[in-house]
Structure 1
């Protein structure tokens, strides 16, 4: 799921900054592209697009600083998948 999540997050962020060539690990805050409105937009995007609620203790800059960080947050907050039974993998 990580690559799919990263692609979706990357498409959203790059759509907001079309004139900027942005790598997955580049820090939006350090680049100066994040204001309080865009920060809230990122949170709302994650919650709406992935059907998650971002807990208050996860509303930290490091979780929203890059495409990779947001993708990691989404993967961490997503419900765990059911393990595949051992006999199904044989």
Structure 2
């Protein structure tokens, strides 16, 4: 993990996620919008989100973190990214 990656804020991650979702889904999403309940996202698309998050934020999403609730909202995904990046930074220290 590079120093640049460690310095990402929740706002920057949220903005990046919203931009990605807006372009892929062709609609604007709110940070607290339930993507599954709204019908915008399926469980298959959630797997695409896993890949996107892992590649974009240099994290590994495994085990208990692979539950749908981790991908239900932009806020939930932002919290997941921040938590996993913090854990990885702590492991590197």
Same fold, TM exceeding 0.5? yes
**Higher radius of gyration, 1 or 2:** 1
- Counterpart residue number, 2:50: 43
- Counterpart residue number, 2:3: none
Note if 1:15 corresponds to 2:18: no
Question: What is the CA–CA distance in structure 2 between the aligned matches of 1:21 and 1:49, rounded to whole Å?
Answer: 20
Structure 1 residues 39, 14: closer, same or farther in 2, change over 3 A?
Answer: same
Aligned-residue CA RMSD (Å)? 1.6
Structure 1 residue ranges, 4+ long, deviating more than 4 angstroms after superposition: none
Equivalent pairs counted in the alignment come to 81
Task: For structure 2, list consecutive stretches of 5 or more residues without a partner in the other structure.
Answer: 1-8
